[in-house]
Amino acid sequence: MAQILVTATTATSPKQVSSVMKQFRNALVIAQKSLDGAAAGKTNTGIVYLGQSATADEQPIAMSPGDERVFAAPAGAMWDLSQWYMAVASNGDGLVIIYQ
């Protein structure tokens, strides 16, 4: 299994989950708060939005910090993380993705 950590440094526009092709059959996606968090005076408890559109406000899957979702491609198919985008409500929030 492989894993990636994707962090959005700005909450102004969607960020591509991977800039290179990363195909997967199954992926566990975990929304995470910024590691800066409360110690740096930041609350960073915002929602992470995930979807397959690079257009602002078109990421329909909303995940609160700590939420987990499993994505599975149909039998015999693979999906590509470079075709997914995330948007965050708080700077520094992001996703941990474990995939195979």
Nearest to 21 by CA among 75, 85, 83: 83
pLDDT, residue 35, reads: 60
- pTM of the predicted model, to two decimals? 0.86
User: What is the rounded distance in angstroms from the CA atom of residue 72 to the CA atom of residue 100?
Assistant: 10
Distances (CA, A) of 22 to 29, 67, 78, 79, 97: 14, 22, 10, 8, 11
Instruction: Name which of 42-46, 69-73, 78-82 the model is least confident about.
Output: 42-46
